Amino acid sequence: MRYRYKTHSDIPPYMEDYLLSVVGGESLKDVAVEDINNFLNGYDEWVEQEDMSMVASEDAYHSDPIDGVTIH
Protein backbone atom coordinates (compact mmCIF):
# COMPACT_ATOMS: atom_id res chain seq x y z
CA MET A 1 0.00 0.00 0.00
CA ARG A 2 1.26 3.42 -0.82
CA TYR A 3 0.37 6.12 1.66
CA ARG A 4 -0.48 9.43 0.01
CA TYR A 5 -2.18 11.56 2.60
CA LYS A 6 -2.61 15.13 1.37
CA THR A 7 -3.57 16.77 4.67
CA HIS A 8 -3.59 15.84 8.33
CA SER A 9 -7.38 15.55 8.17
CA ASP A 10 -7.00 12.70 5.63
CA ILE A 11 -5.36 10.52 8.28
CA PRO A 12 -7.92 8.16 9.85
CA PRO A 13 -8.20 8.10 13.66
CA TYR A 14 -6.67 4.62 14.04
CA MET A 15 -3.60 5.71 12.02
CA GLU A 16 -3.36 9.00 13.91
CA ASP A 17 -3.32 7.06 17.20
CA TYR A 18 -0.54 4.81 15.90
CA LEU A 19 1.52 7.73 14.59
CA LEU A 20 1.12 9.63 17.85
CA SER A 21 2.47 6.59 19.70
CA VAL A 22 5.49 6.61 17.35
CA VAL A 23 6.27 10.32 17.60
CA GLY A 24 5.36 10.53 21.27
CA GLY A 25 3.35 13.67 20.84
CA GLU A 26 -0.15 14.91 21.32
CA SER A 27 -0.70 16.30 17.83
CA LEU A 28 0.49 15.37 14.37
CA LYS A 29 0.24 18.97 13.22
CA ASP A 30 3.94 19.38 14.02
CA VAL A 31 4.85 16.56 11.62
CA ALA A 32 4.74 17.28 7.90
CA VAL A 33 2.30 15.08 5.98
CA GLU A 34 5.11 14.26 3.55
CA ASP A 35 7.18 12.93 6.48
CA ILE A 36 4.23 10.84 7.66
CA ASN A 37 3.79 9.33 4.20
CA ASN A 38 7.53 8.66 3.89
CA PHE A 39 7.63 6.97 7.29
CA LEU A 40 4.62 4.74 6.60
CA ASN A 41 5.81 3.78 3.12
CA GLY A 42 9.34 3.13 4.38
CA TYR A 43 8.00 0.99 7.20
CA ASP A 44 5.93 -1.06 4.75
CA GLU A 45 8.99 -1.59 2.54
CA TRP A 46 11.04 -2.68 5.56
CA VAL A 47 8.36 -5.18 6.62
CA GLU A 48 8.19 -6.59 3.08
CA GLN A 49 11.99 -7.03 3.04
CA GLU A 50 11.88 -8.76 6.42
CA ASP A 51 9.11 -11.07 5.17
CA MET A 52 11.17 -11.95 2.11
CA SER A 53 14.28 -12.63 4.18
CA MET A 54 12.26 -14.93 6.44
CA VAL A 55 11.05 -16.87 3.39
CA ALA A 56 14.60 -17.13 2.07
CA SER A 57 15.96 -18.35 5.41
CA GLU A 58 13.14 -20.89 5.74
CA ASP A 59 13.84 -22.12 2.21
CA ALA A 60 17.52 -22.54 3.09
CA TYR A 61 16.62 -24.38 6.29
CA HIS A 62 14.34 -26.78 4.45
CA SER A 63 16.74 -27.42 1.60
CA ASP A 64 17.18 -30.92 0.29
CA PRO A 65 19.79 -32.88 2.20
CA ILE A 66 22.92 -33.98 0.40
CA ASP A 67 23.89 -37.55 1.24
CA GLY A 68 21.49 -37.50 4.19
CA VAL A 69 23.09 -34.39 5.73
CA THR A 70 21.43 -30.99 5.85
CA ILE A 71 23.73 -28.01 6.29
CA HIS A 72 22.27 -24.97 8.02
Please list the alpha-helical segments (H only) found in 1-72.
Answer: 13-23, 33-61
pLDDT at 58: 60
Provide the residue type at 54 as one letter. Answer: M
Rounded distance between C-alpha atoms, residue 64 and residue 30, angstroms:
54
pLDDT, one tens digit for every residue, the chain (72 residues): 799 999 999 999 999 999 999 999 899 999 999 999 999 999 999 999 987 776 666 656 555 556 666 555
Report the alpha-carbon distance of residue 26 to residue 28 in Å, rounded: 7
Using CA atoms, how far apart are residues 39 and 37, in angstroms rounded to an integer? Answer: 5
Whole-prediction pTM value? 0.69
